[in-house]
Amino acid sequence: MLVVGSGLIGTSIALGLVARGYDVVISDSDELAEQTAMAKSGARLWDGHEQVDLVIVATPPSSTANVIRELVATQPNAVITDVSSIKGSIFADLSDLDVQDLSRIVGGHPMAGREVSGAASALSNLFVDRSWVITRNPSTSDEAFSTVVNLASDLGAIPIERTLVEHDRAVALISHTPQVVASVLASQLLEAEERDVELAGQGLRDTIRIASSNADLWGQILAGNATEVARRVTAVAHDLAEVARALLDHDQASVHEALVKGSQGRDRLPGKHGTERKSLATLSVRLDDQPGELARLFAVAAQAGVNLEDVRIDHSLGRMTGLVELTVEPHNVSVLEVALSSADFTVVT
Amino acid sequence: MLVVGSGLIGTSIALGLVARGYDVVISDSDELAEQTAMAKSGARLWDGHEQVDLVIVATPPSSTANVIRELVATQPNAVITDVSSIKGSIFADLSDLDVQDLSRIVGGHPMAGREVSGAASALSNLFVDRSWVITRNPSTSDEAFSTVVNLASDLGAIPIERTLVEHDRAVALISHTPQVVASVLASQLLEAEERDVELAGQGLRDTIRIASSNADLWGQILAGNATEVARRVTAVAHDLAEVARALLDHDQASVHEALVKGSQGRDRLPGKHGTERKSLATLSVRLDDQPGELARLFAVAAQAGVNLEDVRIDHSLGRMTGLVELTVEPHNVSVLEVALSSADFTVVT
């Protein structure tokens, strides 16, 4: 197998495939990145000629179609897939480039990432349990499609078939528009007074976390799904302007309705692990910020036989301590509360 | 001391004060909430006449000014403070109501909360290490001001003085506008196809977490800071419309600039504990979703003497496993990596 492009995704794929015993060659136009990816993944360097069965194109989206076009010519027997987070525009580019033999081409989008990028940040298990959307073009053969489904499964991902249009519509909603909104909201902090910003808490921190994503990569992604993202972003802008109008008009019913709709919208998110949302309870514990306190906390929970459904650490301003919020099934609350109190944890209640 | 209003904040204040040995009476117009708060906090029921030194008004913002007006008359010797997340409009309401003796009135805003509400969710340490903004009106006496500073300190909070205008401007930026934006973004999911929503990951989940907040309470908060929030929300709507335009015009430079500004804006958030942002590294570990695995993970970190700066648990779709991202100081990465590998943790790298 050949992986072209040795960023976070390409190197993680190479690493995962090597770990599972595959013979993998890699290639990158940047020699330093290539070296890092080889050292990190254990893959061999591609000599530019060696024929392979499967090529994974993990270059930035703006060059993906061109890279695929070359490979169609130089790798006449290989199935070729890519990993870019836009699908319709890649296929449109391939058509514009008059690429023949589209039967061997399968679109792919492993829905995994990190806020850090580059080969050095690669993880062999980056894709485990993540969705990996796989798309056909009108000519894609069933055999080529199965090859990419198997690739995703081999790396521990969950292969999910979507059409090009379905994919781009979905990611505009759940990924691209949230990215634009988080970035625009975060940019409001740029001109703000220091004494205003310093009051910020966990709510804002979570809301704009993804604003730290790579601007170069995201510029390409958004450009590749421009129409769909623009439509969604325009809808958000319209709804925000409507809330602003309602606020100025003292139209409290409309403001309230917007808040209720937001809460209902959030309720549509899949629950933990995609299973049905359970009713869960939370318990808060205060910790000293020193080695061992978290360990002790979780050890107490484990000894009590309580499974933690979720853990959030809420940082405090100005002092070296933190509040830990534990989410558990309701019947475990009292068990955990007693266990923690007996172990001298200060908070709970 | 008297706490009027036995929701999450009022009951948490009563609980914290009782825990610190103060004699506290409470009152709520809802008898059931009052009973719950008494049971939870150990405070006594106010008989409606008993004179106190300090009154904390923790009613919903829309009734705060009226409650304060009554108390000014019936508690001639008490300092009176409130906890609402809007300050200018409360003071304006007091002026409109022609409340006299403003010298005993001090605005307060403990910047703590939970996504759950009500007396039953109260925590005695809810305010520990949190900012508690304290505002003067033009007549507030130094003595009254000090009383509220001491209240905040007693409950473990960090008292921070701001003017009414400064407070409302700051919370519009860091709290009220993010709430509106998260709600409007989340509401886009309402009409979406199930197969689109089910691809959602941690990024969207974080971005719209606060959309689950209480719509009734937030409707009042936004109404009380309408002008400032409308100004900010309009700016966000404008910037979003601008990105949408740039996307449709293939103006990639403008899209890129919006993303870069977002990243720079996020960099202005205070670091953990309000200290200077350190350069930190992350390490990811995959866990089986069963009691004991988290405990074992943290025990290994503790044994290795590594302090975890942050922990994020990233839920996966469809399978009962999770990815845990540990944030540590860079010099601890290799130490922790070795320790975790030796303890048979599967991921890392």
Per-residue pLDDT tens for A80-125?
999 999 999 999 999 999 998 899 999 999 998 766 778 888 888 8
A232 and B188 within 8 Å at the Cβ level: the answer is yes
pLDDT > 50? residue B305: yes
- Helix, strand or coil, per DSSP, at residue B133: strand
Helices (H), B42-193: 61-74, 88-96, 142-154, 164-171, 177-187
Residues of chain A with pLDDT under 70: 114-115, 271-279, 288-291, 313-322, 346-349
A258 and B299 within 8 Å at the Cβ level: the answer is no
Give the pairing type, strands A131-135 and A105-110: antiparallel
- Higher model confidence: residue B253 or residue B305? B253
A39, A152 contact by CB (below 8 A): no
A272 and B315 within 8 Å at the Cβ level: the answer is yes
A157: which residues sit within 8 A by CB, 6+ positions away?
A: A110, A112, A127, A128, A129, A130, A131, A132
State the average pLDDT over residues B207-234: 95
B129 and A318 within 8 Å at the Cβ level: the answer is yes
Name the token pair of B5.
């209003």
Instruction: Tell me how far apart the alpha carbons of residues B144 and A86 are, in angstroms, rounded to a whole number.
Output: 60
Give the CATH H-level superfamily of domain B2-162: NAD(P)-binding Rossmann-like Domain (3.40.50.720)
- Contacts within 8 Å (CB) and 24+ apart, A141-144: A141/A103, A141/A104, A143/A79, A144/A79, A144/A103, A144/A104, A144/A105, A144/A106
A307 and B289 within 8 Å at the Cβ level: the answer is yes
Residue of B221, B261, B288, B324 for testing the chain A interface, max A β-carbons within 10 Å: B261
Domain A168-266 in this protein, CATH class: mainly alpha
Which one-letter amino acid corresponds to residue B326? L
Domain residue extents for chain A: 2-162, 168-266, 281-342
pLDDT computed for residue B88 by the predictor: 95
pLDDT computed for residue B164 by the predictor: 96
A289, B328 contact by CB (below 8 A): no
pLDDT > 90? residue B125: no
B216, A192 contact by CB (below 8 A): no
The interface predicted TM-score of the complex, written ipTM, equals 0.81
pLDDT > 50? residue B276: no
Which segment, B130-134, B253-257, B332-336, is predicted with the most confidence on average?
Answer: B253-257
A281-342: CATH topology: Alpha-Beta Plaits (3.30.70)
Strands laid side by side in the B310-315 sheet: B281-288, B321-328, B310-315
Q: Least CB-CB distance to A196: which of B169, B198, B317?
A: B169
pLDDT > 70? residue B274: no
Instruction: Tell me how far apart the alpha carbons of residues A263 and B117 are, in angstroms, rounded to a whole number.
Output: 15
A98: left (phi over 0), alpha (psi -120 to 50) or beta: left
pLDDT computed for residue A161 by the predictor: 97
A176, A221 contact by CB (below 8 A): yes
**pLDDT range class, residue B280, cuts 50, 70, 90:** confident
pLDDT computed for residue B201 by the predictor: 84
Average pLDDT over all residues of chain B? 89
Residue of A177, A187, A231, A252 for testing the chain B interface, max B β-carbons within 10 Å: A187
Q: List the one residue out of A95, A52, A101 whose CA is nearest residue A72.
A: A101
Residues of A in contact with B298 (CB under 8 A): 294-295, 297-299
pLDDT tens by residue, B286-299 = 776 666 777 788 87
Which one-letter amino acid corresponds to residue B265? G
pLDDT computed for residue A275 by the predictor: 42
Instruction: Tell me how far apart the alpha carbons of residues A234 and A229 are, in angstroms, rounded to a whole number.
Output: 8
What burial letters (b/e) apply to A142-161, b meaning 16+ CB within 10 Å?
eebbebbbebbeebbbbbbe
With pLDDT > 90 as the criterion, what percentage of chain B qualifies?
68
B174 CA to chain A: closest CA distance, Å?
5
Q: How many CA atoms are closer than 13 Å to the CA of B8, on its beta-carbon side?
A: 16
Lowest mean pLDDT segment, chosen from A193-197, B85-89, B310-314: B310-314
pLDDT tens by residue, A5-53 = 999 999 999 999 999 999 999 999 999 999 999 999 999 999 999 999 9
- Higher model confidence: residue B192 or residue A303? B192
Residues of B in contact with A199 (CB under 8 A): 111, 131, 133, 160, 170-171, 174
State the average pLDDT over residues B98-120: 87
Q: How many CB pairs under 8 A join A and B?
A: 474
Residues of A in contact with B233 (CB under 8 A): 240-241, 243-244, 247
Residues facing residue A181 across a β-bridge: none
Report the predicted TM-score, pTM, of the whole model to 2 decimal places: 0.82
